[in-house]
Amino acid sequence: MHTSIRSFDHFFISGEWRAPSGAQRTPVISPSTEEEIASIPRATSADIDAAVNAARQAFDFGPWPRMSPAERAKVLARVPAEIDKRAAEIANSFCHEVGGPKFIASFMASQANKMWGDAATLHQRFKFEERREWNNGHGYLIFEPVGVVATILPWNGPVPTISLKIAPALAAGCTVVIKPAPEAPIGALILAEALAAAGFPRGVVNMVPGDREIGEYLANHPLVDKIAFTGSTAAGAKVMAACARRIARVTLELGGKSASIVADDIDLASLAPTLVNNAVMHSGQICAALTRVLVPRHREEELVARMCDYMATLKVGDPLEEDTVLGPVITSAQRERIEAYIAKGIEEGARLVFGGGRPAGRSRGWYVQPTLFSGVNNSMTIAREEIFGPVVVVIPFDSIEEAVAIANDSEYGLSGAVYARDVALAEKIARQIRTGQISINSWDMCVVQPFGGFKKSGLGREGGIEGLLEYLEPKLLQFAKC
């Protein structure tokens, strides 16, 4: 692992590394040292115009949308090898700019490659054109690419998050403009190098990291046909409003407040560490984190004690140290937000049973202890709002029906898990939970099958054939009256 990361001086536009339009730079700050570790050019609207124009040109006149899906798949299939060549640098950038620990960093490239691998085989599973017959006519249903896609992304896992959006978009024949978050642009720009090496035609892939204003400019851009957004629900609502004004297509991957439901028949000694990990991994900065733990009331005390015991074993520290489990959170402002939620939890009467503060001996870095609240009811702020920090709440229930009602009593609906030895019971519970994914006796974000949210967790799906469909327009070619 390196002790530093690279800076970039250019954006990737129209198949080349192009100088920015302005002279200002944006610093990249390490969440663990609070020091500037790299910088990138500060994007202006002129840079976004250049990227969008390149993508528009490539879509309207270039070969990419006109190639067969199988021909496009050959280019997509070259991406994983290029990402693999840069896997160490991608992992290194994740530790430095995101503050994620090494063991998570090591998955970044392979996680992204699952998406590229899957996208490269979509044409074998999906018919881009099929004959349709009806009472007095026949024709063809043709799935055409939606056009120029702009993707707006968060900082918490740049390389997989970008890949999950653009791999299916490119498989569909779209051209893309990628706007990574300014907090963590370096991993994204390394991915752009991999994509450049894979050999997409000029203008098919463009990348300009930038701040919120740049995101707003992109979301409102008249030459963009579709916005694929991942981020907070508040920003997603603004993006959707911008798209509504010009009826642009939009998909949203937003926040979550997902639940683990623990049935009465399960062994808590072995489950407690899993429940903690599912909630606080990556310092809780995972949209699908299971931050509410629902447990039968008479077992709450035992579970809380076991979760506390496990939390005490988690090393919070420098992401570059081998045994670190939790790194810092992304910014000082985010730590203050998390601490305000912790204070609110105490104020509203929840019992703080572990953590709640900053780890001892760390004068630099935006660290937060893993934090556990018990005695929580589902109407408390800490049970309702997405904290995006290592804070987990335990909520007791008196019946399975009540557990289902509590799990579903949320503005969000992204993920979840049910733990029960009786798998039939677990399935019965899981079928009643209103979330885009729900796991039984495990927890994973499956990215090669539809992933996305009910309710305020989003709109649309990513991954698999349903993810591809989000980047296609069905067109009926008809030979007789319908």
Residues that bind ligand NAD (CB under 6 A): 152-156, 161, 179, 181, 211-212, 215-216, 219, 230-232, 235, 238-239, 253-256, 287, 386, 388, 414, 458
Catalytic residue selected from 95, 174, 243, 287: 287
Catalytic residue selected from 97, 253, 462, 470: 253
342-371: burial string, b at 16+ Cβ within 10 Å, e else: beebeeeebebbbbbebbeeeeebbbbbbb
- Round to whole Å and give the CA distance between 72 and 240: 30
Residue nearest ligand NAD, CB atom distance? 215
Residue 190 C-beta: closest distance to ligand NAD, Å: 17
C-beta of 58 vs 162, nearer to ligand NAD: 162
**CB count in 10 Å sphere of residue 82:** 18
C-beta of 392 vs 400, nearer to ligand NAD: 392
Contacts of residue 395, defined as CB under 8 A and 6 or more positions apart, other chains included, come to: 292, 293, 294, 295, 376, 377, 378, 383, 406
Neighbouring C-alpha atoms within 13 Å toward the C-beta of 367: 22
Contacts of residue 399, defined as CB under 8 A and 6 or more positions apart, other chains included, come to: none
Catalytic, 95? Answer no
Residue 209 C-beta: closest distance to ligand NAD, Å: 8
C-beta of 153 vs 304, nearer to ligand NAD: 153
- Nearest residue to 17 via CA among 46, 1, 34, 41: 41
Residue 138 C-beta: closest distance to ligand NAD, Å: 40
Residue 263 C-beta: closest distance to ligand NAD, Å: 27
CA distances from 195 to 37, 80, 168, 188 (A): 24, 9, 14, 10
C-beta of 370 vs 458, nearer to ligand NAD: 458
Contact in structure between 182 and 210 (CB atoms under 8 Å): yes
C-beta of 310 vs 388, nearer to ligand NAD: 388
Catalytic, 402? Answer no
Residue in this structure with the two tokens 């204070």, named with its chain if needed = 343
Residue 161 C-beta: closest distance to ligand NAD, Å: 6
Residue 330 C-beta: closest distance to ligand NAD, Å: 7
C-beta of 345 vs 458, nearer to ligand NAD: 458
DSSP 8-state secondary structure symbol assigned to residue 319: T
Q: Give the dihedral sign, CA 53/76/65/174.
A: negative
Hey, which residues are catalytic here? 253, 287
